[in-house]
């Protein structure tokens, strides 16, 4: 990771510590964070309107062919109201190690999406996300051309449980010859709190692309509410495909930073 990225990371940690101190002093006066991570599926809800919310973490994928992919995923969220907002995210850094020891390092691709929420009742809402993924990676770590992203969401609460169902599509700008340009995506997650600070989630997700096969993955995670505005998470995912049982380990944070103006 570059020296500039390390400096940015240190400053974010210092700001996060300061935010925790302020949160404990004004916990009743501030809105709460709205975590999207660490599941693949997103909720229909947006973050607190008028506030910038940040998500970031560390992720390691151990593939069945002994390759490894380490990444630093991030996401910035800004809601103009409780029904519309924007998402900006990607991978701040990727380190890909191939079988045999060769490796690539660099910035990943970046995506920008518009998000719309359609409330149906106090406990149920629909959501829709649409945008594009820009090929900001220059080292062969990304897609190489622009992808277009679409995702439909159904979120509902029953008791203390929360369910998110996602069904989406990616129009791939640089598809492998002989395969479809459209990749279908799906995810279904169940989450619930264990107490005021601890909670957990389980999820099944997958993809399908004609002539390229399908994937499916099982994820389990726990979260810790350090304050109303700061939520930590950690967990793992396991790919269920017979041909490749990739394992993913991750940890991260969701942080409701504050109002930009």
Q: What is the pLDDT of residue 212?
A: 82
Residue pLDDT, tens place only, 21-73: 555 555 566 899 999 999 999 999 999 999 999 999 999 999 988 899 999 99
Contact predicate 45/171, CB 8 Å: no
Q: What is the pLDDT of residue 4?
A: 44
- If one counts the domains in the chain, the total is 1
Which residues form the domain of 144? 3-258
CB 199 within 8 A of CB 191: yes
Sorting pLDDT into bands at 50, 70 and 90, what band is 13?
low
Residue 149 has pLDDT above 80, yes or no: yes
Of residues 190 and 30, which shows the higher confidence score?
190
Q: How far apart are CA 36 and CA 255, in angstroms?
A: 11
pTM > 0.85: yes or no: yes
CATH number at residue 183: 2.40.160.40
């Amino acid at each position: 990771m570059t020296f500039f990225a390390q400096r940015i990371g240190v400053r974010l940690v210092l700001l996060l510590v300061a935010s925790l101190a302020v949160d404990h002093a004004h916990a009743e006066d501030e809105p709460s964070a709205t975590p999207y991570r660490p599941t693949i599926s997103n909720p229909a809800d947006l973050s607190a309107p008028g506030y910038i919310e940040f998500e970031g973490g560390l992720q390691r994928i151990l593939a069945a062919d002994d390759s490894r992919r380490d990444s630093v995923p991030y996401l910035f969220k800004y809601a103009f109201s409780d029904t519309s907002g924007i998402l900006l995210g990607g991978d701040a850094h990727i380190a890909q190690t191939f079988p045999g020891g060769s490796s690539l390092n660099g910035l990943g691709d970046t995506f920008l999406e518009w998000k719309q929420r359609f409330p149906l009742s106090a406990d149920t809402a629909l959501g829709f996300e649409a945008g594009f993924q820009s090929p900001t990676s220059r080292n062969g770590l990304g897609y190489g051309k622009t992808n277009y992203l679409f995702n439909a969401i159904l979120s509902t609460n029953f008791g203390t449980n929360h369910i998110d169902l996602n069904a989406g599509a990616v129009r791939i700008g640089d598809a492998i010859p002989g395969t479809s340009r459209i990749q279908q995506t799906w995810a279904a997650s169940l989450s619930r709190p264990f107490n005021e600070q601890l909670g957990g989630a389980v999820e099944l997700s997958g993809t399908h692309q004609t002539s390229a096969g399908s994937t499916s993955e099982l994820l389990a995670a726990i979260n810790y509410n350090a304050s109303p505005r700061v939520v930590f998470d950690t967990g793992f995912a396991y790919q269920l495909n017979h041909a490749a049982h990739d394992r993913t380990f991750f940890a991260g944070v969701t942080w409701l930073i504050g109002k930009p103006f």
